Amino acid sequence: MITNTIRAFSRNGGLNGGRTPAINRVLSAVGYFLPILNGVQYDSFLLCLYSSIPYANFVIFFTIYLALVKNPSFPRYVRFNAMQACVLDVLIVIPLIV
């Protein structure tokens, strides 16, 4: 059952038949900057500007969530990737809270 679904998914080219416009791909990739920015804090001081702005993480998170994830005018591909980026961001922040 699962292998048939995976084969059909691959054969059809993904979520919407492999016909995702370039603008939707770019918008989907933009959401991944949030987990990247939060993951960099485990490295050296590469993003001093990002860390010097108070509550920048919350502002970017809620902007992505409200502007992309909850906006039905964007295609499902964009909303899925934005939500996945938000989940990754939360998973990266959990060790800081603990």
List pLDDT tens digits, range 41-78. 766 665 677 778 888 888 888 988 999 889 899 888 88
Cβ 48 vs Cβ 25: under 8 Å: no
**Residue 39 in tokens:** 């993951």
**Residue 33 in tokens:** 């900057």
| pTM score over 0.75 | no
Tell me how far apart the alpha carbons of residues 28 and 82 are, in angstroms, rounded to a whole number. Answer: 6
The predicted pLDDT at position 5 comes to: 47
Mean of per-residue pLDDT scores for the chain = 77
The predicted pLDDT at position 1 comes to: 47
Q: Can you tell me whether residue 73 is helix, strand or coil?
A: coil
Name which of 67, 57, 63, 50 is nearest 90 in CA terms. Answer: 57
